[in-house]
Amino acid sequence: MRLVLVLGDQLSENIAALRQADRAQDLVVMAEVAAETQYVPHHPKKIAFILAAMRKFAARLREDGWQVAYTRLDDPENTGTVPGELLRRASETGATDVVATRPGEWRLIEALETVPLDLEILEDDRFIASHADFDRWAEGRKQLRMENFYREMRRRTGLLMEGDKPAGGKWNFDTENRKPASDDMFLPRPSRFEHDDTVAEVLELVETRFGGNFGQLHPFGLATDAAQAEAVLEQFIHAALPAFGDYQDAMLAGRPFLYHSLMSAYLNVGLLDPLDVCRRVETAWQAGHAPLNAAEGFIRQIIGWREFVRGIYFHEGPCYVERNELGHERDLPALYWGAETGMVCLREAVAQTREEAYAHHIQRLMVTGNFGLVAGIDPAQLHEWYLAVYADAFEWVEAPNTLGMSQFADGGLFASKPYVSSGNYIDRMSDYCGTCRYSVKAKHGDDACPFNLLYWHFLNRHRARFSSNPRIATMYRTWDRMDAQRRQAILHGAENFLKKMDSGAQV
Ligand code: FAD
Ligand code: DLZ
Ligand code: SF4
């Protein structure tokens, strides 16, 4: 008999370890453990989602004839860690061999490697590019750019290809995907699921144990099994995909989901298969149900960005998460944990994160991420925040997005410029600024939008690094052309704002 480890984000019947196992003889080990539920203060919705999905997956495996040793969080014998549970099951059964699928975090890979059992770790092949594929692609390249990698993935999968040419004659339709939304638009309602007995039981457990963590547990309507996740996919293709491309970057107060797919959490834990999802989206385009800019934009996020950031995470190794090339050391301000703020964009992004354990990409990148970068917040603290608060957050995908794409903490390994902006960008893409206590039009002075001040403060303090970057050199020329008094007023305003925020006062 062998032990077959299945982790909380490996909930696919097709996962490598299960494919290699023998259902007549082997024992599947699944465990809810303190170490995984506490390594960051996860949002209660995220914990409930994962534990409920684990319990339902274990039940399904049993129905399919597998033997499953399942540890519940409140099991008195629970050792509290994944390696501990493997050792406990080994001593109960006399098994010495373990087969596992490679975890998505170095932390857990390293912990597993210390287990004194005969452990075979298989590659997680739910991804299109293996680690070797990515390393081969990256080798010898001066710059690691998603766009080049994405084209290879298009060729490899044949998605949206006409022979060896991209469908529609272009690889990327991003320039068509930047429409701001208006609040009288018809928006699809996201699927919400009734609580079955498993979900109800898990919600009680999570309420008791993790009710004090940042985040609202109720109302809870996430999908917790493959059939429900499939319903989310169907609903997305039917109702949201046609407008997905156009409004991908838009933000509206009180409308957290817009035309986004809400699929990241389901993809990341294994309830949906990424290639299957992309093929279904391609079919919708072929059938004339969605325009090419929507289908291409969506498929690029999955076979492009998702695969690419995973490649980066494993290519760079465990120390990636410690990088801080810009030397940012400011503590994460309390507003990220819901302290009152007059900045409507941040208040909205944080409030919906607290309610939904979800924010869409532009909110993560251009609101909470942008603020972190221009304010000089310690990227390690931001990394921990993003890892904790989103239901889809696992280090392989969260860390490169936070440290690399959003915070430039890896020195621009794959981002060609830092994602910083003044308030103008947020104003163009959202309806936030109209009700804000700050004025997005004011460039300095007490009422000036903090992004307008901090944007220049950032460029000024990192001049040596960025002034020769062709993608932002023009901004330095604009700065240099401003009269000295105005520059002084902006920098002074930014310093005052940061001082106030650091003192704990409301900003
Ligand atoms: P949609 O907008 O509908 O996009 C479709 C799918 O494409 C997503 O479900 C996701 O699987 C994939 N995708 C899109 N963008 C990315 C990306 N940049 N990297 C990887 N996959 C992508 N995504 C996570 O899955 N987990 C994270 O922990 C995470 N942390 C992030 C942190 C920061 C600072 C930033 C800027 C982005 C982060 N992202 C993360 C990427 C992206 O924001 C989310 O995947 C997306 O918002 C999820 O919502 P959705 O499913 O509605 O996506
Ligand atoms: C995120 C998470 C949580 C909250 N709880 C568990 C758990 O109790 N048991 C488990 O096997 N996995 C859990 N996970 C997912 C793991 O943290 C995830 O497998 C690793 O971070 C690797 O990606
Ligand atoms: Fe955000 Fe500035 Fe707009 Fe206020 S004015 S919502 S702080 S961008």
- pLDDT at 177 (0 to 100): 73
CB distance 252 to 206 below 8 Å: no
pLDDT in tens, 397-439: 999 999 999 999 999 999 999 999 999 999 999 999 999 999 9
Q: How far is the CA of 25 from the centre of ligand 2 (A)?
A: 26
Any atom of ligand 2 within 6 Å of the Cβ of 270: no
Q: What confidence category does residue 174 fall into, taking pLDDT thresholds of 50, 70 and 90?
A: confident
**Does 183 score more than 80 pLDDT?**
no
- pLDDT at 180 (0 to 100): 84
Question: Any residues with CB less than 8 A from the CB of 117 and at least 6 apart, and which?
Answer: 3, 86, 87, 90, 95, 96, 97, 98
Burial of residue 151, with CB atoms counted within 10 A of its CB: 0-12 exposed, 13-18 middle, 19 or more buried: middle
C-alpha span between 498 and 507 (Å, rounded): 9
- Neighbour count for residue 290 (Cβ, 10 Å): 24
C-alpha span between 217 and 378 (Å, rounded): 28
Residue nearest to atom 19 of ligand 1 (CA): 306
Q: How far is the CA of 154 from the centre of ligand 1 (A)?
A: 19
In angstroms, how far is CA 52 from the centroid of its own chain?
Answer: 20
C-alpha span between 125 and 280 (Å, rounded): 20
**Does 125 score more than 90 pLDDT?**
yes
Any atom of ligand 2 within 6 Å of the Cβ of 394: yes
* The pairing of beta strand 161-162 with beta strand 67-71: unpaired
Instruction: Quote the mean pLDDT of the chain.
Output: 96
> What CATH superfamily classification does 334-502 receive?
DNA Cyclobutane Dipyrimidine Photolyase, subunit A, domain 3 (1.10.579.10)
Q: What confidence category does residue 444 fall into, taking pLDDT thresholds of 50, 70 and 90?
A: very high
C-alpha span between 148 and 156 (Å, rounded): 13
Q: How far is the CA of 314 from the centre of ligand 2 (A)?
A: 18
Residues within 6 Å of ligand 1 by CB: 260-264, 267-268, 298, 301-302, 305-306, 309, 360-361, 364-365, 369, 386, 390, 392-393, 397-398, 401-402, 405-406
Partners of 330 in beta bridges: 377
pLDDT in tens, 306-335: 999 999 999 999 999 999 999 999 999 999
Any idea which ligand is nearest the CA of 341? 3
Q: Where does the chain hold its CATH 1.25.40.80 domain(s)?
A: 131-193+225-316
Which residue from 397, 402, 406, 420 has its CB within 8 A of the most atoms of ligand 1, so it is best to mutate? Answer: 397
* The pairing of beta strand 165-166 with beta strand 97-101: unpaired
**Does 361 score more than 80 pLDDT?**
yes
> Phi then psi for 155, rounded to 5 degrees?
-65, -45
- pLDDT at 315 (0 to 100): 97
Across the range 105-126, mean pLDDT stands at 97
Across the range 367-382, mean pLDDT stands at 98
- pLDDT at 181 (0 to 100): 79
Cα Rg of the chain, angstroms = 23
Q: Domain 131-193+225-316 class?
A: mainly alpha
Q: Where does the chain hold its CATH 1.10.579.10 domain(s)?
A: 334-502
Q: What confidence category does residue 189 fall into, taking pLDDT thresholds of 50, 70 and 90?
A: confident
Any atom of ligand 2 within 6 Å of the Cβ of 348: no
Considering the chain, what percentage of its residues have pLDDT values greater than 70?
A: 100
Q: What is the per-residue DSSP string for 56-79? A: HHHHHHHHTT-EEEEE-TT-TT--
- pLDDT at 36 (0 to 100): 98
pLDDT in tens, 12-53: 999 999 999 999 999 999 999 999 999 999 999 999 999 999
- pLDDT at 462 (0 to 100): 98
- pLDDT at 190 (0 to 100): 85
Residue nearest to atom 2 of ligand 1 (CA): 260
Q: How far is the CA of 348 from the centre of ligand 2 (A)?
A: 28
**Does 373 score more than 80 pLDDT?**
yes
pTM above 0.95, yes or no: yes
Residue nearest to atom 4 of ligand 2 (CA): 37
Partners of 118 in beta bridges: 97
Any atom of ligand 3 within 6 Å of the Cβ of 450: yes
Residue nearest to atom 18 of ligand 1 (CA): 305
Buried b (16+ CB within 10 A) or exposed e, 195-233: eeebbeebbebbeebbeebbbbbeebbbbbbbebbbebb
CA angle 419, 425, 428 (to 5 degrees): 150
- Domain 2-122 listed as CATH 3.40.50.620: yes
- Classify residue 333 by its DSSP letter: P
Any atom of ligand 2 within 6 Å of the Cβ of 297: no
Any idea which ligand is nearest the CA of 428? 3
pLDDT in tens, 89-109: 999 999 999 999 999 999 999
Q: What is the per-residue DSSP string for 434-471? A: GG-SSBSS--SSTTB-HHHHHHHHHHHHTHHHHTT-TT
- pLDDT at 338 (0 to 100): 97
- pLDDT at 186 (0 to 100): 78
Question: Any residues with CB less than 8 A from the CB of 235 and at least 6 apart, and which?
Answer: 188, 190, 191
Q: Where does the chain hold its CATH 3.40.50.620 domain(s)?
A: 2-122
Across the range 376-394, mean pLDDT stands at 98
Question: Any residues with CB less than 8 A from the CB of 345 and at least 6 apart, and which?
Answer: 251, 367, 426, 430, 432, 433, 436
3-state secondary structure (DSSP) of residue 311: helix
Q: What confidence category does residue 142 fall into, taking pLDDT thresholds of 50, 70 and 90?
A: confident
pLDDT in tens, 259-311: 999 999 999 999 999 999 999 999 999 999 999 999 999 999 999 999 999 99
Tokens of 10: 């490996």
Q: What confidence category does residue 175 fall into, taking pLDDT thresholds of 50, 70 and 90?
A: confident
C-alpha span between 19 and 73 (Å, rounded): 27
**Does 55 score more than 80 pLDDT?**
yes
Least reliable range by pLDDT among 59-63, 249-253, 331-335, 396-400: 249-253
Closest to 387 in 3D by CA, of 376, 400, 374, 377: 400
**Does 184 score more than 80 pLDDT?**
no
